[in-house]
Amino acid sequence: MFEEASILKLKDVRYSWPGRFSFGLTVPEFDLTSGETVLLLGESGSGKSTLLSLICGTVSAQFGMVSVSGTDIASLSAGERDRFRAEQIGLIFQQFNLLPYASVLDNILLPLDFAPERRSRVNTPKEEAKQLCQDLGLPRDVIDARAGTLSVGQQQRVATARALIGQPPLIIADEPTSALDAATQTTFLKLLFAQSKAHSTTLLMVSHDARLADQFDRVVQMSDISQVERQSA
């Protein structure tokens, strides 16, 4: 049974990528409780990217329910899923996906341009962006710097601020520590957890690194929640 306070629910979900060498993923049941931090572990080829695509709505489940904040996104059109994702989900990508020639401020505020409800939760966007940078340990003057001039660790924190601004209820982090050394990983995760708690945000982090497990509320193995099918012509 799903918890009453769940922010994410998957039930009897199936999806198969088209093509000669098809890959299919089935998720009988998976949920995230509001406010918890969850580490999703899985090796390459285990279906992690497909699962994230289903949760974010970049692909639509062919069968079953994918519910975020009480909305079954599998029932939405492609355009509706894009708008819903901008409002409800903050994304931290493995490669950060910052606009290198844009300022740190512009990068952080970018999601608000596509999410009016999320923007309405921010009284003074520039001040909120500055505060997030400060809370994430970035220098005070970084807000006007071009994102491409920052170190990897600084870019990662800017990407985190971009995901957090406007308090989306769900943050998804896709291998965000893979390029960092162990000490920097620990520091970053402490900052991320603190900000998630401060903003009452649920965090789902995807990784193949089991050494991170002790730092999360819950650890989930892809092999425990899903089945993968591969078929060649």
pLDDT score for 17:
86
> Is the Cβ–Cβ distance between 32 and 82 less than 8 Å?
no
* pLDDT averaged per 10 residues in sequence order, the chain, 233 residues: 72 86 88 93 88 93 93 91 94 89 96 93 93 89 94 90 93 83 80 83 90 91 91 60
| Per-residue model confidence (pLDDT) at position 1 | 39
pTM, two decimals, is: 0.88
- Enumerate domains of the chain plus CATH numbers: 6-231 (3.40.50.300)
Q: Which residue pairs, CB below 8 angstroms and at least 24 apart, start in 68-71?
A: 68/7, 68/8, 68/169, 68/170, 69/7, 69/169, 69/170
CA angle 145–193–52, rounded 5-degree value: 85
